């Protein structure tokens, strides 16, 4: 799902946070978004994900405005993920249950991601008691599991240990092959270089 | 002060007497207030949460209106339900007046604004992150209401306990639509009021203690479903 | 707290000796009475006249007769205006009150469904005993106050005189005020005994008619009793105020006012003054 | 149904009549319930929060006891306060019975368990992170209670509004210790009860509406201090 | 403040999370703590900071048990910092107000850290609306401002942009000179090498 942003202006009270003339994120790529703390990256993600409707300007998703149907194909892996107060298994299953997947499909997919994200030991643990890095894994799995066409990753490996970083990046690279649009915020130049197909820098007055 | 001591003694006597009359009054209180709490929860909590997660226009005014509803005096609720259920009223044919069912209806109505208000406040103050999470995972408004219910169950339980405590301790509504008829619609609070107007204070206090014992029991049961710890 | 060493206060006390300030001497009088006198509006009509005349303020606490007598026993009220003659006399005999005087009476009536299926109007006329027998024999629903109030006691006494101990499905014990009991009777199309004043004030909202009235057994005597200030712990009792209230309500002026109350609205007085 | 329409008309008439009697009754309601809410908040909120942040032994039992307290019927509170304030009672010398002050006291007592319970629940459910933050910055228990008050003000405001709504709508306690004395202790709810028993339903409903208007005003004022949005 | 851990055992329900035979963190150093996600680093920090008393074994602080007075000198910069619902200025001032510093001292110190952490523009902004990186700065400043003798840093630069990383590390290096004990959790080997004087690896079954 291509995203095209035009004249997007966001302000808090009277203070203008950013005004983006135009900006494009193409599908089938990993689009890296960088910029200093507080420049408005997460705020932009919230807007793109449809969580914040208090802005001026327009965003086109495959040329169209945001709709309920489109929302079904967009997801955000938040910088501060909120993991549901239920087991890790059920956290992963939740988006599938929302979409009325069959029991078998749910089990298959969830087990697949539990394996892939090395969550086997945490399978039945409550999501609210996870460690920072564990939450980020669950959050990624929960997002990928329903195959979104637009995936917003907000510093999704900030708390991931060195050993796991590899597979966390690998998973996203693999996912790119589905043709989805992946936009990723990171503060690590190395990560940007490893994964990014394009790079946008948010700057003051852009 | 003697009244209080006598009341405590009387309460012990009542509780250990296994008097059928006493137990039926207690049972009726539990039935009426319990049913009203359950019934009002069923629709008021979803409604309150739904209003809370919607970004409605004129939100400030809506909030105030919702909270204002919590102040409806129970006598007024009783009166209005009585007008509707009375023989000459629109639902007179159902012959509900002065029955346990009428009391349940009145208390259900009474609890509605309280339950809507408390759930609304919960959604407004603690529901934002849950709403965002649900939305990004593809949930609609209805899914999000369900999600908040499961995520904030301990807090909702307290709201339900608060509602139950208002129901079990109120007398205005049940008195008007029930009439405190012995053997039919007499509950603990209407008995207390009656004994109070008879000047039988120890008995009134005794029943107050019985009510608290009952309430403790109910809270214990509800609380054991509360995942707080 | 009051600094009684202040000279200003002493002078003010002395100045109350003058007759114009005599009014303030009476201070606050707590009158404990039954809901029927308050709900009928009689007190709102009478008390301002008394207050105007004497400068006293009367605080009326309307409760059930049982609670009113209990308040008197506990010295919580200065004077009582209630209607349960036997209990009142016992109250004075036990030393809780100093004296008791008749003030007024109203009457009770038996009310019931308008169609009067038992034909009580025809068969019983003004004979309450025959009416009660008829009700109990036919098993028609009768709603009792069941709250130990003056009215309830009166009703029980009537049953006793009839020789029936009322119990069973047909005899509903409500444990509620007169207004509530009338509503219940109306809803259930049942019979009940009520004071005329309450019935008249609610008449429009009820589907009930007066079926039996005028039996002398149905008279309801109100009495006034000042609470005994000499009893232990009763130092707070406003003796002078209570006495003044009693004297006034028994006076010709007050008795005349009582006799006029309600004539305009209902075409007949609600209470009949009968102080001796 | 006519009663309800008549009640609405009557309510408009009352509100626009500027009748001194009506306004004094409304003012007294506001004074009594407002003061009781403020007074009970002053100590109940800190106590509730304090109990909530302490890791007490037998916590589950304490929770149940606290929530049970919310069910105390107002008639019982009225009765017990009356026993204490009565002329012969332990505080009889203060001559408080049948005064506005007695009503404030009774409602303050009535609100205490509710306010403690709601604050306790708030601290238990939402206070953990604030407590941890305060602790690592060097705060003691008392500092943390203050910190929670400032952090969770919107939620606490709702608790206070809930308490106020219980106070302004209840009749049991104020009736017993106040006595519904015209010109002295008559408040909206005692008037409603009186009119109801006099069969003057339109007037009772009218006063109910007046009460809601008053409550809306109070909520609006409280709400404007509410930083929720 | 030296920290000495002996036979520390932590379990959730029946599951043992870790058992630490002995572990020492000396003052005047930056002690780096590393380990895979979920190994129990943050849990250990909570225990050391006195936030979690549900454990077996003992911890000595300068040879003594934890006391109220000691708690005054210990602080934790959490992995998920909670910033108070008041201005950034007041967030920094809070620990000083708790300690009854004079008005002038408070102003001086707060201004010093606002400058140092490049928070000037956020001075009057509400702490709850900060971005992830901004929160981490405030959290660090709020911890240093009252000169704790034991400073626990839990991934304190996870969301810090590249430009700011330098001064964030510099500040901690400077602070070491006060002789305080700094224990730092990080997932970055580079950071560990840049800052660490000692390194402890938490491992399964340690
Ligand atoms: N309600 C608000 N009022 C005022 N300013 C706000 C509000 N919410 C956010 N901001 C400011 O908007 C800016 C952008 O925040 P955002 O979270 O988008 O930054 P970011 O680019 O994601 O930063 P980081 O790299 O630290 O995550 C921040 O400076 C933040 O303080
Ligand atoms: N209440 C609990 N019940 C069961 N397990 C828990 C509970 N709380 C935490 N855990 C588990 O304890 C482990 C340690 O968590 P901790 O936050 O200390 O990890 P960490 O080493 O800091 O990891 P990270 O690098 O991801 O921050 C995690 O696996 C977590 O799931
Ligand atoms: Mg961000
Ligand atoms: Mg951690």
**Ligand 2 contact, E12 CB (< 6 A):** yes
**Ligand 1 contact, E134 CB (< 6 A):** yes
The tokens describing D77, both together, are 């509170």
d(CA B47, CA B64): 16
CB pair distance less than 8 Å for C187 and B199: no
Residues of B in contact with D67 (CB under 8 A): 158, 161, 165, 219, 223
Whether C220 and C83 have beta carbons less than 8 Å apart is answered as yes
Whether C36 and C84 have beta carbons less than 8 Å apart is answered as no
CB pair distance less than 8 Å for E161 and A42: no
d(CA D65, CA D215): 30
**For testing the chain A interface, which of E52, E131, E153 should be mutated: the one with the most A CBs within 10 Å?**
E131
CB pair distance less than 8 Å for A78 and B147: no
Residues of E in contact with D151 (CB under 8 A): 84-85
Pocket probe mutation, ligand 1, options A16, A17, A18, max atoms within 8 Å of Cβ: A17
| pLDDT given for residue C7 in this prediction | 40
CA-closest residue to ligand 1 atom 18: A40
| pLDDT given for residue C17 in this prediction | 39
Nearest atom in ligand 1 to E135's CA: 26
CB pair distance less than 8 Å for B59 and D229: yes
- The reply to whether B223 falls in a domain is no
- The reply to whether A32 falls in a domain is yes
The tokens describing B138, both together, are 């593809």
Could you give the number of structural domains in chain A?
1
| pLDDT given for residue C22 in this prediction | 46
- The reply to whether D190 falls in a domain is yes
Cα dist. C160→C132, C133, C156, C212 in Å?
11, 11, 6, 18
**pLDDT, chain B, mean:** 90
What residues of chain C score a pLDDT lower than 50?
Answer: 1-23
**Ligand 2 contact, A131 CB (< 6 A):** yes
| pLDDT given for residue C10 in this prediction | 40
Q: Could you give the 3-state DSSP secondary structure of residue E73?
A: coil
Chain A contact for B229, CB < 8 A? no
Residues B99-109, buried b or exposed e (16+ Cβ, 10 A)? bbbbbbbbbbb
Q: At what angle do helices D20-53 and D141-151 cross, to 10 degrees?
A: 130
**Span of B62-66, B98-102, C208-212, E191-195 with lowest mean pLDDT:** B62-66
- The reply to whether D132 falls in a domain is yes
**pLDDT, chain A, mean:** 95
Report pLDDT digits (tens) over B16-60. 887 788 889 999 999 999 999 999 999 999 999 999 999 888 878
Beta bridge mates, E23: E5
The tokens describing C47, both together, are 């008390």
D window 163-182, beta carbon within 8 A of B: 164-166, 168-172, 176
Nearby residues of C186 by Cβ (< 8 Å), 6 or more positions away: B87, C205, C206, C207, C208
CA-closest residue to ligand 2 atom 17: A131
Whether E3 and E61 have beta carbons less than 8 Å apart is answered as yes
Band (B85; pLDDT cuts 50, 70, 90): very high
Q: How many CB atoms lie within 10 A of CB A16?
A: 11
- The reply to whether D186 falls in a domain is yes
Closest partner residue to E75 among D129, D137, D153, by Cβ? D137
DSSP E101: -
Nearby residues of D220 by Cβ (< 8 Å), 6 or more positions away: B64
The tokens describing C275, both together, are 């102080």
Nearest Cα of chain A lies from the Cα of E64 at a distance, in angstroms, of 30
d(CA B132, CA C96): 71
The pTM of the full predicted model, rounded to 2 decimals, is 0.91
* CATH number for the domain harbouring residue E154: 3.40.50.300
Cα dist. D114→B159, C7, D163 in Å?
11, 48, 7
- The reply to whether A62 falls in a domain is yes
| pLDDT given for residue E206 in this prediction | 53
Could you give the number of structural domains in chain D?
1
Task: Give the residue carrying structure tokens 């009375």.
Answer: B86
Cα dist. C237→C225, D179, E24 in Å?
13, 18, 79
Q: Which domain holds residue D111?
A: 1-216
Per the document, the length of chain A is: 206
CA-wise closest residue to A113 among A76, A145, A91: A145
A window 11-30, beta carbon within 8 A of E: 12
CB pair distance less than 8 Å for B137 and A50: no
Nearby residues of C252 by Cβ (< 8 Å), 6 or more positions away: none
User: What's the 3-state SS for chain D?
Assistant: CHHHHHHHHHHHHHHHHCCHHHHHHHHHHHHHHHHHHHHHHHHHHHHHHHHHHCCCCCHHHHHHHHHHHCCCCHHHHHHHHHHHHCCCCCCHHHCCCCCHHHHHHHHHHHHHHHHHHHHHHHHHHHCHHHHHHHHHCCCCHHHHHHHHHHHCHHHHHHHHHHHHHHHHHCCHHHHHHHCCCCCCCCCHHHHHHHHHHCCCHHHHHHHHHHHHHHHHHHHHHHHHCCCCC
CA-closest residue to ligand 1 atom 7: E129
**How many pairs of residues across B and C have Cβ atoms under 8 Å apart?**
67
Whether B10 and B210 have beta carbons less than 8 Å apart is answered as no
Residues with CB under 5 A from ligand 4 (ion): A 131-132; E 42, 79
**Span of C79-93, D214-228, E56-70 with lowest mean pLDDT:** D214-228
Report pLDDT digits (tens) over B170-208. 999 999 999 999 999 999 999 998 988 888 888 889 999
Dmax over Cα atoms in chain E, in whole Å?
Answer: 52
Chain E contact for A38, CB < 8 A? yes
| pLDDT given for residue B145 in this prediction | 97
CA-wise closest residue to B205 among B29, B9, B33: B9
CB pair distance less than 8 Å for D143 and E98: yes
DSSP string, B9-67: HHHHHHHHHT-HHHHHHHHHHHHHHHHHHHHHHHHHHHHHHHHHHS--TTHHHHHHHHH
Nearby residues of E63 by Cβ (< 8 Å), 6 or more positions away: E2, E4
Residues D19-37, buried b or exposed e (16+ Cβ, 10 A)? eeebeebbebbbebbbbbb
| pLDDT given for residue B15 in this prediction | 79
Nearest Cα of chain B lies from the Cα of A71 at a distance, in angstroms, of 6
| pLDDT given for residue E174 in this prediction | 96
Nearest Cα of chain C lies from the Cα of D2 at a distance, in angstroms, of 11
Nearest Cα of chain B lies from the Cα of A51 at a distance, in angstroms, of 6
| pLDDT given for residue A206 in this prediction | 53
Nearest Cα of chain B lies from the Cα of D155 at a distance, in angstroms, of 7
**Ligand 2 contact, A81 CB (< 6 A):** no
Mean pLDDT along residues E89-96: 97
Phi, psi of D105 (to 5 degrees): -60, -50
Chain D contact for C233, CB < 8 A? yes
The tokens describing B219, both together, are 């809270």
* CATH number for the domain harbouring residue B171: 1.10.3720.10
The tokens describing D118, both together, are 């709601």
Residue E164 predicted with pLDDT over 60: yes
- Ligand 1 centroid vs E174 CA: distance in angstroms? 28
Chain A contact for E204, CB < 8 A? no
**pLDDT, chain E, mean:** 95
CA-closest residue to ligand 2 atom 4: E12
Q: Classify A118 in phi/psi space as left (phi over 0), alpha (psi -120 to 50) or beta.
A: left
| pLDDT given for residue A205 in this prediction | 64
Mean pLDDT along residues A124-131: 95
Whether B93 and B76 have beta carbons less than 8 Å apart is answered as no
Give the residue on B whose Cα is nearest the Cα of A150. Answer: B136
CB pair distance less than 8 Å for B183 and C69: no
Band (E205; pLDDT cuts 50, 70, 90): low
Q: Which domain holds residue E185?
A: 3-84+139-201
Beta bridge mates, E200: E33
**For testing the chain C interface, which of D25, D85, D90, D197 should be mutated: the one with the most C CBs within 10 Å?**
D197
User: How high is the ipTM of this complex?
Assistant: 0.90
Report pLDDT digits (tens) over A48-93. 999 999 999 999 999 999 999 999 999 999 999 999 999 999 999 9
- Ligand 3 centroid vs A40 CA: distance in angstroms? 7
Band (B226; pLDDT cuts 50, 70, 90): low
**Ligand 2 contact, A155 CB (< 6 A):** no
Nearest Cα of chain E lies from the Cα of A74 at a distance, in angstroms, of 22
**How many pairs of residues across C and D have Cβ atoms under 8 Å apart?**
50
- The reply to whether A99 falls in a domain is no
Band (D188; pLDDT cuts 50, 70, 90): very high
Q: Classify D180 in phi/psi space as left (phi over 0), alpha (psi -120 to 50) or beta.
A: left
CB pair distance less than 8 Å for D114 and B162: yes
d(CA C194, CA C182): 8
Mean pLDDT along residues D3-7: 81
**Ligand 1 contact, A42 CB (< 6 A):** yes
CB pair distance less than 8 Å for D198 and C61: no
Q: Do chains D and B touch (3 or more CB pairs under 8 A)?
A: yes
Q: How many CB atoms lie within 10 A of CB B141?
A: 14
Closest partner residue to C61 among D92, D181, D197, by Cβ? D181
| pLDDT given for residue E154 in this prediction | 97
d(CA B13, CA D184): 39
Band (E73; pLDDT cuts 50, 70, 90): very high
CA-closest residue to ligand 2 atom 24: E37
Q: Could you give the 3-state DSSP secondary structure of residue A205?
A: coil
CB pair distance less than 8 Å for B74 and D176: no
d(CA D106, CA D97): 11
Q: Which long-range contacts (CB under 8 A, 24 or more apart) does B213-217 make?
A: B213/B15, B214/B26, B214/B29, B214/B30, B214/B168, B214/B188, B215/B164, B215/B165, B215/B168, B215/D68, B215/D71, B216/D64, B216/D65, B216/D68
CA-closest residue to ligand 1 atom 24: A37
Sign of CA dihedral C150, C153, C159, C163: negative
The tokens describing E69, both together, are 């007075």
| pLDDT given for residue B1 in this prediction | 64
Q: How many CB atoms lie within 10 A of CB C134?
A: 18
Residue D1 predicted with pLDDT over 80: no
- The reply to whether E143 falls in a domain is yes
- The reply to whether D221 falls in a domain is no
Chain B contact for C153, CB < 8 A? no
Q: At what angle do helices A132-144 and A88-98 cross, to 10 degrees?
A: 20
d(CA D110, CA D72): 8
Q: Do chains B and E touch (3 or more CB pairs under 8 A)?
A: no
**Ligand 2 contact, A132 CB (< 6 A):** yes
Residues with CB under 5 A from ligand 3 (ion): A 42, 79; E 131-132
Report pLDDT digits (tens) over D80-103. 999 999 888 889 888 898 999 999
Q: At what angle do helices D201-224 and D153-169 cross, to 10 degrees?
A: 160
């Amino acid at each position: 799902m291509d995203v095209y942003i035009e004249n997007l202006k966001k302000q808090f009270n009277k203070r203008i946070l950013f005004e983006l003339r135009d900006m494009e994120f193409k599908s089938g790529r990993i689009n890296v978004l960088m910029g200093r703390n507080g420049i408005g990256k997460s705020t932009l993600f919230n807007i793109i994900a449809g969580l914040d409707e208090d802005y001026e300007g327009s965003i086109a998703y495959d040329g169209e405005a945001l709709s309920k149907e489109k929302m079904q194909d967009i997801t955000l892996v938040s910088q501060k993920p909120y993991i549901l107060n239920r087991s890790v298994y059920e956290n992963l299953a939740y988006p599938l249950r929302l979409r009325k997947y069959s029991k078998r499909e749910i089990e298959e997919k969830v087990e697949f991601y539990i394996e892939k994200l090395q969550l086997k030991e945490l399978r039945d643990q409550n999501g609210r008691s996870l460690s920072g890095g564990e939450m980020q894994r669950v959050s990624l799995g929960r997002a990928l599991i329903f195959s979104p066409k637009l995936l917003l990753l907000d510093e999704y490996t900030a708390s991931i240990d060195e050993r796991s970083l590899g597979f966390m990046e690998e998973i996203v690279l693999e996912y790119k092959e589905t043709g989805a649009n992946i936009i990723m915020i990171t503060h690590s130049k190395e990560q940007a270089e490893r994964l990014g197909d394009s790079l946008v820098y948010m700057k003051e007055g852009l | 002060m003697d009244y209080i001591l006598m009341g405590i003694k009387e309460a012990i006597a009542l509780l250990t007497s296994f008097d059928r009359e006493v137990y039926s009054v207690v049972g009726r209180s539990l039935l009426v207030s319990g049913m009203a709490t359950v019934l009002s929860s069923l629709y008021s909590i979803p409604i309150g949460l739904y209003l809370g997660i919607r970004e409605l226009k004129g939100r400030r005014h809506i909030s105030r209106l919702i909270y204002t509803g919590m102040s409806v005096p129970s006598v007024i609720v009783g009166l209005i339900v009585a007008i509707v259920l009375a023989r000459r009223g629109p639902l007179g044919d159902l012959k509900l007046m002065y029955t346990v069912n009428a009391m349940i209806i009145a208390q259900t109505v009474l609890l509605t604004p309280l339950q809507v208000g408390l759930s609304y406040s919960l959604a407004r103050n603690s529901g934002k992150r849950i709403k965002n999470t649900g939305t990004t995972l593809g949930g609609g408004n209805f899914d999000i209401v369900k999600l908040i219910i499961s995520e904030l169950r301990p807090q909702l339980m307290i709201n339900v306990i608060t509602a139950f405590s208002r129901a079990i301790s109120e007398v205005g509504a049940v008195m008007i639509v029930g009439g405190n008829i012995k053997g039919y619609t007499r509950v603990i609070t209407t008995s207390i009021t009656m004994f109070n107007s008879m000047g039988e204070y120890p008995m009134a206090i005794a029943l107050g203690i019985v009510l608290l014992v009952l309430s403790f029991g109910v809270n214990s049961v509800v609380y054991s479903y509360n995942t707080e710890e | 707290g009051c600094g009684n060493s202040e000279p200003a206060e002493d002078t003010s006390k002395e100045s109350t000796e003058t007759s114009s300030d005599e009014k303030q001497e009476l201070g606050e009088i707590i009158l404990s009475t039954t809901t029927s006198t308050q709900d009928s509006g009689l007190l709102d009509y009478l008390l301002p006249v008394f207050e105007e005349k004497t400068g006293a303020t009367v605080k009326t606490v309307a409760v059930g007769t049982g609670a009113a007598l209990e308040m008197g026993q506990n010295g919580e009220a200065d004077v009582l205006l209630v209607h349960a003659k036997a209990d009142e006399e016992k109250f004075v005999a036990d030393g809780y009150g100093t004296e008791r005087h008749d003030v007024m009476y109203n009457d009770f009536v038996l009310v019931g469904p308008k169609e009067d299926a038992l034909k009580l109007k025809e068969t019983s006329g003004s004979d309450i005993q025959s009416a009660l027998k008829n009700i109990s024999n036919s098993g028609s629903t009768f709603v009792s106050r069941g709250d130990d109030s003056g009215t309830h006691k009166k009703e029980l006494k009537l049953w006793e005189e009839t020789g029936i101990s009322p119990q069973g499905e047909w005899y509903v014990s409500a444990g509620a005020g007169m207004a509530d009991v009338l509503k219940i009777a109306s809803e259930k199309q049942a019979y009940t005994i009520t004071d005329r004043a309450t019935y008249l004030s609610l008449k429009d909202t009820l589907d009930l008619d007066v079926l039996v009235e005028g039996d002398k057994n149905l008279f309801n005597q109100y009495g006034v009793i000042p609470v005994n200030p000499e009893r232990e712990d009763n130092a707070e009792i406003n003796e002078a105020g209570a006495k003044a209230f009693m004297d006034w309500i028994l006076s010709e002026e007050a008795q005349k006012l009582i006799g006029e109350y309600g004539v305009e609205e209902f075409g007949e007085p609600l209470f009949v003054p009968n102080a001796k």
